[in-house]
Chain A
Amino acid sequence: MTRFIDADVHERAELEDLLPHLDPIWHRYITDYGWQPERLLPYSQPTAGGLDRLDSKPDGVRHGGSDLGFLRQQLLDEYDVAAAVLTGWLNTSSLEEGWPEFKTALMSAYNDWQVQEWVERDERLFGSIHVNTWDVEGAVREIDRMAAHPKMVQVMLYSGSEPFGAPRFHPIFAAAARHELAVAIHHSENSPTALGRHRYFIEWHTLVSQVFMSQAVSIVFNGVLDRFEGLKVILVEGGFSYVPHLMWRADQQYRELRHEVPWLTRMPSDAMRAQMRFATQPIEEFTAPQLTTLIEQMGSDELVCFSTDYPHWDFDSPLRALPAALSEDLKRKIFFDNSYDLFPRIAAQVPREAAAPQGVPA
């Protein structure tokens, strides 16, 4: 099969791992006062292994994604991954407002830990710049600082309940565009549905796509894509089957209500096709005709980027997640080309020929 670029791989830290990278002024809040990121999800994942694939836990106990050697064995080597984008564990953008200076410092520590322990230890691993959206000025400083590392390929925002298209967040998108970094918006356990959190995990998880529809709508109608023309935004861990509906709906509203958003210069779906990308996981069970039709309805086969979400419980296998009968051309785009074109820093360091299986010409 085509080798692939994985747009969503979660490395995992313990808070104590970050201490060597964190200004000592903050240490006591972790070591002595027990700060923990809040988890607003009122249920656990009723799966075999909780958050993680049961078989992804090193020694059967530690968190999946906490051991580079095991991740290499179970993901990078097992599936002959050409490149993988690390998407993290801790991102304070999805936490509640408050204590922004601590959270900004924590994001800096996390980024330095990620580079030292992961990005620089395997050539296939690329990084995300985690920022704290509650401190936009600090977030921009962090982007400017971390963009100097050539293997950091995107700015990472975890979604809580804030739509990120609002003008106060625009300096973050500006900084990403300035450094030719994509902006990734990733789901989190702190995102509600449109009607709160419902009674059951199965309800909440079915409705994950609502969060991404909200973020996409916010970004499009607040003019982020028009204002920063070179910017690319990738929505991660929400799947992509909602996209045709969203495009049709947004276009129709624009025809009817355009005067409310006069700063837009294009039909919403045109802006999305030009600048928005969608990671595949968690993918539904599709037949090849269903998936092909869905892609046709999106109006472009360049929008969808393969992702596994390793090591989480709803990991999508590159061997089985896409229907076998899908055309080779479309598989190649989803598995490799679309991410390759999205991340210029990966393209600068991984030859396009890497898409071919080892020893086979592309």
Chain B
Amino acid sequence: MRHDVCAVEELGEGELAHVRVGERDVVVVRSASGKLHAVAGRCLHQGALLSGGRVLNDVEGERPGTYRLAEGREVLKCPWHGYEYDVASGCALFDRRRRLRSYEVAEYDGRVVVEA
């Protein structure tokens, strides 16, 4: 079943949108490369709406004091405590066993739609 999110042009790169899928909250993410992702919309920690968060580049570094932007690896950051999730897989970056459910999302007839 398709769930309408918004018009395609309303969701720019790095932006987030919220949609209700039945009883569930879902957050739709447009990555910097333009790709769409959709994952469960409430943080696994205390239930904050992730659509109020941010999409940021992940950061990597091998030794204390080294920082490098992980190009192409985008994370969804909770607006409260900052829990971070991989936008593609929904996995928490601090523990990949904790995961937001992923949803199918696509552009259809000028609209962004989640399929569930």
Contacts and interface: CB of A to CB of B under 8 A. Distances in A.
Contacts of B49: 55
B82 A47 contact: yes
Interface stretch (A169-177, A230-238, A286-294, A310-318): A310-318
A313 B83 CA distance: 11
A196 to B, nearest CB: 17
A344 interface: no
Which bracket fits the contact residues of B? 10 to 19
B47 A53 contact: no
A54 B47 contact: no
A9 B47 CA distance: 19
Contact of B47 (A55, A285, A314, A320): A320
B108 interface: no
Contacts of B78: 48
A313 B82 CA distance: 8
A259 interface: no
Contacts of A48: 53-54, 77-80, 82
A320 B45 contact: yes
A54 B53 contact: yes
Interface in A298-325: 313-317, 319-321
Interface in B69-95: 77-82
Contacts, number: 46
B22 interface: no
Nearest to B53: A48
A315 B65 CA distance: 29
B93 to A, nearest CB: 13
A46 interface: yes
Interface residues of A, number: 17
Interface in A130-180: none
B45 A54 contact: no
A315 B80 CA distance: 7
Nearest to B59: A46
A255 interface: no
A319 B48 CA distance: 10
Given A48-B53, A54-B54, A313-B81, A199 B46 contact: no
A54 B46 contact: no
Contacts of A315: 80-81
B64 interface: yes
A357 interface: no
15 contacts: A48-B54, A48-B82, A53-B80, A54-B52, A54-B54, A54-B80, A55-B49, A313-B80, A313-B81, A314-B81, A315-B81, A317-B46, A317-B47, A319-B47, A320-B47
Interface of A: 46-49, 53-55, 199, 285, 313-317, 319-321
Given A48-B79, A53-B80, 13 more contacts: A46-B82, A47-B81, A47-B82, A48-B54, A49-B79, A54-B79, A55-B80, A199-B64, A285-B45, A316-B46, A317-B46, A317-B47, A319-B46
Q: Report the 10 A-B pairs with minimum CB-CB distance, sorted nearest first.
A: A54-B79, A55-B52, A320-B46, A317-B46, A47-B82, A55-B79, A48-B77, A48-B79, A48-B54, A320-B47
